[in-house]
Amino acid sequence: MTNIFDLKSKENKVRVLFYTLGLSIMGLGIALSAISNFGVGPWDAVNIGLSYHINLSVGTCMNIVAILNLIVGGILNKEFPKITPMITSIILGGFIDLGLFVFSDINVSTPLMQFILFMISLPIISLGVAIYLVSKLPNTPLDYFMLAIKTKFNLSLMSGKIVSECSGFIIGFLLGGPVGLGSLIIIFTIGPIMQFLYPYSEYFFNKLINKGDITLSKN
């Protein structure tokens, strides 16, 4: 197993760079989506819906759902659920908070501005996910779950993401969470954009670590 703490290795330095850069871009994109107030992601709707039923904060419910994602992902992978994705989730949360602070003065007073900002956030989120997944460092609990679906059912990255988000949409709806048009747009845009961007991220990652026979492949 590669020791990622050995930063003398060029490959590890590049992994940490892609991991940090990807999470920061993803966090800023999620912050823009939240500020747009146009809609929430399916799994955000699950967190909010669960909070209606168990009288706990949305943040606490997010951690509960994250643990459940890890458990189900572990079952699909036939392995003991990994704990390290929770670390990634905490780091991502910090970048989201930073994004909310940086973009706090953006004016989204009209429905058109809300929609435009929301649509801008989608490719940003997708790019962030594509970059950080290439690092092969700990995923977020949701992406661990998504990749487990992809592996278990031999799906493309796009299809795995869509199945994961559809699962969240159904659960969020059953819990009475705020699913809506924004949630549907997220389901059918994040996955395809991420699928398109991932090979380019992988290409540049391999180029930076000087791997031979570099080709641009589609997953």
* Tens digit of each residue's pLDDT (9 = 90 or more) over 118-169: 999 999 999 999 999 999 898 899 999 999 999 999 999 999 999 999 999 9
For 189-207, how does the pLDDT look when each residue is reduced to its tens digit (9 = 90+)?
999 999 999 999 999 999 9
Q: Is the pLDDT of residue 1 over 50?
A: no
pLDDT grade for 37, boundaries at 50, 70 and 90 = confident
Tell me what the mean pLDDT of segment 21-34 comes to. Answer: 91
- Would the CA dihedral through 4, 10, 11, 14 be positive or negative? positive
Indicate whether 218 pLDDT > 60. Answer: no
Handedness of CA 204, 206, 208, 214 (dihedral sign): negative
Q: How far, in Å, CA of 44 to CA of 54, rounded? A: 16
> DSSP 3-state assignment of 26?
helix
Q: What is the CA radius of gyration of the chain?
A: 17
In the predicted structure, residue 76 carries a pLDDT above the cut 80 = yes
Residues 6+ apart with CB under 8 A from 204: none
* CB contact at 8 A, 39 and 181: yes
